[in-house]
Amino acid sequence: MSFMQPSYAHGITSVPLLGETIGENLRRTVERFGDREALVSRHQNYRATYQQLWQETGIIGRGLMARGVKKGDRVGMWSPNRYEWVVTQYATSRIGAIMVNINPAYRSHELEHVLTQSACSLLIMARGFRQTDYVSMFNEVEERLPAHIQALVIDDEWGALREDGKQVSEEELTHREYSLDPDDPIDIQYTSGTTGFPKGATLSHHNILNNGYFVGRTLAYSEKERICIAVPLYHCFGQVMGNLAATSHGACMIFPGEGFDAGAVLATVEEERCTSLYGVPTMFIAEMEHPNFSKTNFASLRTGIMAGSPCPIEVMKRVQKDMHMPEITICYGMTETSPVSTQSKVDDPLDKRVATVGCVHPNLEVKIVEPATGHVVPRGKVGELCTRGYSVMLGYWDDLHSTRQAIDNARWMHTGDLATMDSDGYVNIVGRIKDMVMRGGENIYPREVEEFLYTKREIADVQVIGVPDAKYGEELMAWIKLRPGASVTGDELRAFCKGKIATYKIPRYWKFVDTFPMTVTGKIQKYKMRETAVEELKLQNAASIKTA
């Protein structure tokens, strides 16, 4: 019997983990690169060197101490991308407060849940974002909160917080910093579940500092990098892969706007001479479809990250060629793993860089297991991806039951993602366990069908889901976003598929849309698409059929 190579890989490296707090790491960067530009917030006309950033984080840290914030206290941050967000991230890290990241898109019931569940003692917030008035929303939920929460509106009270900092000495701040440990919890990120309320993934200095550091090393970052961070700060993509990757290498963090705007990103890349650009696939698609795209000078770009949701191969190829990003990489991970578990390398062969999510990250382990048994599957076989190592969260905040469901006794984090590993150790995500479509006994991975449909020139974006069917259990449905000016029908797309992919993989239903339901970080919410489809296609009877 021939031996089958198992789907297991370990990120062997000679580079050790950083055994320090985020504040200690920032201090070392300031000592080396104090005069270099550290932070640019374009929409606020704000610029700071590393020395200035260090001073500002110290002032705000002391201000928080003056307001009674102790080590381990939870401080909520509810704001779109602003320089004050970045300052608060590092200020709370320096005083040992746990920052609770609140999604800018939250509504009152979600805000109430997060503030209550994390037992926040202080909330730092913007006055509002887009059409949402944060102040009135907080006032609405305040009376229902179990304990009093101090609220500080950045637009009105940032100056007062800085003044409060004068009440606490530098020595007191230094004493606090020396009392901290790299394994202390420092960050709570609420993950957007598809059902129920979000859970608070609790991350330590050690978790997120090291993950940001190794993301930066994989991208060959130095102090010369200028990173255009167009993704939200409240999420790991912005604050870890963006900010901590930058500050651990002395690079510059550049924010084009409060929220994503394709035109602002293009202008920022050109005018700030950015070397790296971040985004989810839908962001890159929007940038390439923008009227200013052909006029933008991308010559300064070298690298970047596409992540957050599956990266279409055809989109990746265009970004590499048309946006002058030959060294762009794909990252894969989840909030609970700080977040990155695998990443492609800047010099990987083209087919590996566009068709996989790379190999296991340094100092981590990944394996792919049969979901029903937990046994490691052979290379090339589909199973659930699991991650183990320094990046795995401390747990869900005050939720031991959910923690035990996600992390097994051997400290493997079960991702819920279906994946394969090839003979070289490269991982390919084929879908979510819950997204897999079972049609008449055939398992269909929507990702495979999506990748095929992307090869049709008229299609800008596509998402494939399963919808209930009385005969087959499930049928495929494709939601299509066309390129500007393009025209194609469902029948034409069906004909395009015929003979090229298996008949059972050809979608039965086609829906043409301008946008997809998604989270603020660009994750497609397929469960919402399914709900809409059941309603529009009148599939309630099929949906009500009970299955084993």
Do 118 and 94 lie in one domain? The reply is yes
CB 11 within 8 A of CB 365: yes
Lowest mean pLDDT among 237-251, 382-396, 490-504: 490-504
Q: Does 246 have pLDDT greater than 50?
A: yes
CB 90 within 8 A of CB 24: no
288-328 confidence digits (pLDDT tens): 999 999 999 999 999 999 987 767 788 888 999 999 999 99
Assess if residue 208 is contained within a domain: yes
Do 410 and 465 lie in one domain? The reply is no
Do 460 and 410 lie in one domain? The reply is no
Assess if residue 526 is contained within a domain: yes
CB 225 within 8 A of CB 233: no
How far from 64 is each of 123, 165, 502, CA to CA, in Å?
Answer: 11, 7, 61
Q: In the prediction, which pLDDT does 441 show? A: 64
Mean pLDDT of 232-251: 96
Mean pLDDT of 370-387: 95
Report percent pLDDT > 90 for the chain: 78
Do 148 and 67 lie in one domain? The reply is yes
Three-class secondary structure assignment of 450-494 = HHHHCCCCCEEEEEEEEEEECCCEEEEEEEEEECCCCCCCHHHHH
Q: By residue range, what is the domain housing residue 88?
A: 22-421
Q: Work out the pLDDT band at 473, boundaries 50, 70, 90.
A: confident
Report percent pLDDT > 70 for the chain: 96
CATH classification of the domain holding 242: 3.40.50.12780
The overall average pLDDT reported for the chain is 93
Do 537 and 388 lie in one domain? The reply is no
Q: What is the DSSP letter of 524?
A: B
Do 359 and 442 lie in one domain? The reply is no
Assess if residue 5 is contained within a domain: no
Do 410 and 440 lie in one domain? The reply is no
CA proximity to 225, closest of 320, 331, 332, 304: 304
Specify the pairing of strand 122-125 against strand 150-153: parallel
Q: Which of 387, 421, 455 is the last residue of a domain?
A: 421
Mean pLDDT of 262-277: 98
Lowest mean pLDDT among 69-73, 118-122, 181-185, 497-501: 497-501
Q: Work out the pLDDT band at 521, boundaries 50, 70, 90.
A: low
Assess if residue 149 is contained within a domain: yes
Q: In the prediction, which pLDDT does 545 show? A: 63
Q: In the prediction, which pLDDT does 498 show? A: 87
pTM exceeds 0.75: yes
Q: Does 548 have pLDDT greater than 50?
A: no
Identity at 524, one-letter amino acid code: I
Q: Which of 421, 453, 474 is the last residue of a domain?
A: 421
Mean pLDDT of 12-38: 98
Assess if residue 464 is contained within a domain: yes
Assess if residue 16 is contained within a domain: no
Tally of domains within the chain? 2
CB 328 within 8 A of CB 318: no
141-162 confidence digits (pLDDT tens): 999 998 899 999 999 999 999 9
Structure tokens at 358: 């790379």
Do 69 and 114 lie in one domain? The reply is yes
190-231 confidence digits (pLDDT tens): 986 444 568 999 999 999 999 999 999 999 999 999 999 999
Q: Which of 365, 394, 421 is the last residue of a domain?
A: 421
Assess if residue 345 is contained within a domain: yes
Identity at 315, one-letter amino acid code: V
Residue 235: helix, strand or coil by DSSP? Answer: coil
Q: Does 2 have pLDDT greater than 90?
A: no
CATH classification of the domain holding 509: 3.30.300.30
CB 188 within 8 A of CB 100: yes
Do 469 and 382 lie in one domain? The reply is no
54-66 confidence digits (pLDDT tens): 999 999 999 999 9
Do 476 and 414 lie in one domain? The reply is no
Do 67 and 169 lie in one domain? The reply is yes
Assess if residue 316 is contained within a domain: yes
CB 478 within 8 A of CB 464: yes
Do 400 and 521 lie in one domain? The reply is no
Three-class secondary structure assignment of 116-145 = HHHCCCEEEECCEECCEEHHHHHHHHHCCC
